[in-house]
Amino acid sequence: MYLGFDPGKDKCGLAIMTPNNHLEYHQIIPSEQAISTINKLSQQYPITKIIMGNQTTSKTWKQKLENGLTSDLSIIMINEKNSTLEARDRYWLMYPPQGLQRLIPQGMRTPPRSVDDIVAIILIERYLQ
């Protein structure tokens, strides 16, 4: 299994997916809980790799992961260009709009929550392609 990780200053997106694209888990967590959460998830799931975006705070986070993880997981850096835009579109596929929201064109809709967990899913999918 693969753990997608979209690191951020305040919050991080996490996702766990099987090699055949079956989504097992996705969540947004506070950044200060990232390493402990990944350690717990690696005990619950047979994670072999962490797939992480290569922008913003990635170098700092890669070092934090290498120093803080209790299991020996390889960390793969992947291009995350436009992943947030893609995640916003994916949000509406995963959670179709209801009521009057359906009448608003998708390009004008804003997801009602952060999409960092969906970015983590997209990073895994990019790696698997």
What CATH number does the domain containing 81 carry?
3.30.420.140
* pLDDT of res. 55: 83
Q: Which domain holds residue 50?
A: 2-128
Each residue of 36-74: pLDDT tens digit?
999 999 999 999 999 998 887 888 999 999 999 888 889
* Count of domains for the chain: 1
Each residue of 70-118: pLDDT tens digit?
888 899 999 999 999 999 999 999 999 988 888 888 888 889 999 999 9
3-state helix/strand/coil string of the chain: CEEEEECCCCEEEEEEECCCCCEEEEEEEEHHHHHHHHHHHHHHCCCCEEEEECCCCHHHHHHHHHHHCCCCCEEEEECCCCHHHHHHHHHHHHCCCCHHHHHCCHHHCCCCCCCHHHHHHHHHHHHHC
Q: Say what the pTM is.
A: 0.92
